[in-house]
Amino acid sequence: MSEDELDPVIHAPARLRIVVTLAALPDGDNLSFTRLQDLIGLTPGNLITHLRKLDDAGYVRMEKSGSGVNGTTSVSLTREGRGALDRYTTVLRDLLDQAGSAPPR
Amino acid sequence: MNEDVDMKDGAGLDDGAAGLDAQGAAAIMQEAGERARRELRVSHPVIFIAAGVAWLLGYGAIWLSVRGQHPYQGPAPEAAVIQVVLVGFAVAIAASIISRATSGVGGLSMVQRRVSILAFASGIVAVLVLEAAIDHAGASRSVVFGVYQAAAPVLVAGVVYAVNSAVRLNWTLLGLGLWLIAVAAGGAFAGPVGVWAVTALAGGLGYLLMAALGPALDRHR
C-alpha cells in the first residue's frame, strides 16, 4: 500500500481540514461559508477554490440563499463525502500501521 | 455579511498535496477534528453549573420565605424576584454558550433547537394557565402556590429534556430529564413547604452532578 491510494481530492491540507471540519457536524447540518472560513483560516478565494474541487467530486454541497449583501452560502458534507473520508481514514490507518505510527482518531 | 466571494486569489492554487505524507495528514486530521469539536459543540457542563446554582439558590430562597408559614400563604414576592433573576441569569449564560457554538450552523440541529424552545415555552405557559385555573376552581393556597407551583415547572423541564435526549441520543440529558421528573413527582409528597426544599436540593444538585458526569457520559454517544 502507498500514499497514491489516498483519495487525491481529499489528500491536500486545506481540503482535508474542510472535510474533517464538516464531518464534525451531525448529519443534516450545514455550516456558513464565513464560519467555515474562521475555522479553517483560508482567504475566501482559496476556500471557494477548494470547495469547488470538493463540490465537483460530489463530496460537499454548497447552497446559496439570498443575494447581494444579504447573500449567504452554506456548506455541508454529502453522504459521498462522508464515505470518501471514511475510506481515506481507513487507507491512512493502514499506511500508518505499516510505518508503525499512531493512526488518526 | 456578503459571502459572494471573490475567487481571484484562489486561481492557480498550489494545494500542497505533493508535500503531504501520511503522518502529516494524520496530524491535520487530529488537529482539525479537535478544533471543530471544541468550537462547534455546546459545552453543557457550564450550562448545567449555572442552572444548578440558580435552582439551589432560587428555590432555596423561596423555601426560606415559606418556612414557618401557618397557614401557608405562598412565596414572598422578594423571593420570587430572586428566583426569576437567577433563572434569567442561567438562561442568559446558556443562550450565550449555545449562540457562540452554533453561530453559522444551520440545518436539522437548528430546527431541533427551535422546536425544543417552543415545547419548553409552551409547557411553562400551560403551567401558568393551569395554575390560574386550579386557583379559580377553589384549590387551597397550599396546593396552588405550594405543591403545584414548585413541582409543575420541574416536570415540564424534565419531560422536555427526556424527549430531547431521544432525538439527540444524549445520555446526560436523559439522566437529567428522568431525574427532574422523579424530583417533581416525589417532591410533591413533601408538602407545600418541603417541596421547595426538595426541588432546591435534588434539582440543583442533579444539575451539578450532570455537569460533573456529563463529559464522561457523552463520550459513549
HEC assignment per residue over B95-123: HHHHHHHHCCEEEHHHHHHHHHHHHHHHH
Name the strand (E) or helix (H) holding B29.
Answer: helix B22-40
Question: What is the span of the domain harbouring residue A66?
Answer: 8-93
Q: Is A1 among the domain residues? A: no
Q: For chain A, give the mean pLDDT.
A: 90
Range in A17-21, A64-68, B38-42, B148-152 with the lowest mean pLDDT: A64-68
pLDDT 10s digits, B163-206: 988 877 788 888 899 999 999 999 999 999 999 999 999 999 99
Strands (E), chain B: 105-107
Q: What is the pTM of this model?
A: 0.81
Residue A61 has pLDDT above 70, yes or no: yes
Residue B39: its chain A contacts at CB < 8 A?
A: 39
ipTM of the complex: 0.89
More confident residue, B10 or A30: A30
The confidence score (pLDDT) of residue B12 equals 53
Minimal Cα distance from B5: which residue of A? A44
Q: Is A98 among the domain residues? A: no
Give the residue-averaged pLDDT of B84-90: 96
Q: How many domains does chain A have?
A: 1
Residue B10 has pLDDT above 60, yes or no: no
Q: Is A16 among the domain residues? A: yes
Give the residue-averaged pLDDT of B61-73: 94
Q: Is A104 among the domain residues? A: no
Mutation target among A22, A37, A39 for the B interface, most CBs of B within 10 A: A39
> Please, which residues have CB within 8 angstroms of residue B86's CB and are 6 or more apart in sequence?
B53, B54, B57, B58
Q: Is A59 among the domain residues? A: yes
Mutation target among A7, A32, A53, A67 for the B interface, most CBs of B within 10 A: A32
Q: Angle, nearest 10°, between helix axes B77-102 and B22-40?
A: 150
Name the strand (E) or helix (H) holding A29.
Answer: strand A29-32
Residue B61 has pLDDT above 60, yes or no: yes
CATH of the domain at A74: 1.10.10.10
Q: Is A65 among the domain residues? A: yes
Q: Give CA–CA dist B19/B4, Å, rounded.
A: 31
The confidence score (pLDDT) of residue B21 equals 87
* Three cell numbers, residue B66: 415559606
Residue A74 has pLDDT above 90, yes or no: yes
Q: Is A55 among the domain residues? A: yes
Q: Is A100 among the domain residues? A: no
Nearest to A42 by CA among B104, B16, B39, B24: B16
